Amino acid sequence: RGAVYDVAVDIRHGSPYFGKHVGLVLDALSGKMLWIPPGFAHGYCTLKTDSTIAYKLTNFYSAEYDAGTAWNDLTLGINWPVDPSNAIISDKDRSLPAFGNLPPLFTYTEFIQAMTDI
- Number of structural domains found in the chain: 1
CATH number at residue 72: 2.60.120.10
Q: Identify any residues that bridge with 21 across adjacent strands, giving them in sequence order.
A: 9
Which range of residues forms the domain containing residue 16? 3-117
Q: Indicate the pLDDT class of residue 115, thresholds 50, 70 and 90.
A: low
- Tens of pLDDT along 33-71? 999 988 999 999 999 989 988 888 888 888 888 889 999
Its pTM stands at: 0.86
**Strands (DSSP E) found in the chain:** 3-10, 12-13, 21-27, 40-46, 106-107
